[in-house]
Amino acid sequence: MTALEVRNLHKRYGQHVAVEDVSFTVEAGEIFGIIGSNGAGKTTTVESIAGLRTPDSGSISVLGLDPVKDRAEVRERLGVQLQESSLPDAIKVAEALELYSSFYRDPVDWRELMELLGLTEKRNTRYKALSGGQKQRLSIALALVGNPKVAILDELTTGLDPQARRDTWGLIEQVRDSGVTILLVTHFMDEAERLSDRIAVIDGGRVAAVDTPAGLIAQASAMQRVRFRVSQPLDSSVLTELSDVADVEVTGDRWLVTGRGQLLSIVAGALARAQVVAQDLRVDRRNLDDAFVAFTGRAPESPERSERKAD
């Protein structure tokens, strides 16, 4: 079943085109990642889905509803955690959750949610006194308190330390397993790769690619690299004459073979036939960072650069 459908979305601010042409479909129960550099158009896209911005053209369907025409119904079914929450400094954790739950027809038990997100101990703490990680967890709780079928999480772990990021990922998987479809906006490749069932790469207001993390990596890196060391002489023609091998580099006793297909077993077979024992034989693992560079021509941002202490 389709949970979200975006077709030919276009949005400009004055003369500046923020979203040129974005289309994708999210199936119910998926974690669907949206990755892209700063200014790629991610937030404009998800805020249009949430009905917070009105597209200039294109269509959006959220569980069969139009976010602009059916705003009230969409609000009931869609939970949104945006980049910056705008809670008053003086509001306490429990007050915020109780207040937000009163906005919905069929909210979850906010006390259970507070417990699930590890905030019960902080129930009487004012918003301004929470740490970065606690504020983040509260904003996730507020996005989920209305018992949504679909949740939008924008820059989920920006500013969290590595442990808090991993804890948050575990939590999001739990939320997905409870049946909520999740649209996850991030510019962190490790987060997108770890959590997403499928990912859209957005670049310059357009969708550059949509696939599973493994599919994106495979699309972007047809070439593989195999490394090994040898302690005895080896004639490079043993490898260069293989049809799947594109290049062989030798530095001292270190060999680097670039090629296609099942390169590791092809190289291992050739070495065995030449009766050469290779040490440290390994294939370079390609990751989503490599795929991102291939699709956008830009390096992804690293989490460390935007990290601040969380708890």
Site residues for ligand ATP per CB under 6 A: 13, 16, 18, 36, 38-44, 187
Closer to ligand ATP at the Cβ: 85 or 258? Answer: 85
Residue found under tokens 């998987």: 173
Report the nearest approach of ligand ATP to the CB of residue 98 (Å).
Answer: 31
With b meaning 16 or more CB within 10 Å and e meaning fewer, what string describes 211-239? bebeebbeebbeebbbbbebeeebeeebb
Closer to ligand ATP at the Cβ: 16 or 305? Answer: 16
Q: Residue 95 carries which side chain, given as an amino acid letter? A: E
Report the nearest approach of ligand ATP to the CB of residue 301 (Å).
Answer: 9
| CA dist., res. 157 & res. 186, Å (int) | 8
Closer to ligand ATP at the Cβ: 28 or 52? Answer: 52
CA atoms within 13 A of residue 195's CA, in its CB half-sphere = 33
Closer to ligand ATP at the Cβ: 54 or 59? Answer: 54
Report the nearest approach of ligand ATP to the CB of residue 277 (Å).
Answer: 49
Report the nearest approach of ligand ATP to the CB of residue 62 (Å).
Answer: 18
| CA dist., res. 195 & res. 86, Å (int) | 26
Closer to ligand ATP at the Cβ: 39 or 162? Answer: 39
Instruction: Give the DSSP letter string of 186-197.
Output: ES-HHHHHHH-S
Long-range CB pairs of 120-127 (<8 Å, 24+ gap) are 122/93, 123/92, 123/93, 123/94, 124/92, 124/93, 124/94, 125/92, 125/93, 126/89, 126/90, 126/91, 126/92, 127/87, 127/88, 127/89, 127/90, 127/91, 127/92, 127/93, 127/96
Residue found under tokens 């739950």: 101
3-class DSSP state for residue 6?
A: strand
Report the nearest approach of ligand ATP to the CB of residue 52 (Å).
Answer: 11
Closer to ligand ATP at the Cβ: 60 or 114? Answer: 60
Closer to ligand ATP at the Cβ: 8 or 174? Answer: 8
Report the nearest approach of ligand ATP to the CB of residue 30 (Å).
Answer: 20
Report the nearest approach of ligand ATP to the CB of residue 217 (Å).
Answer: 22
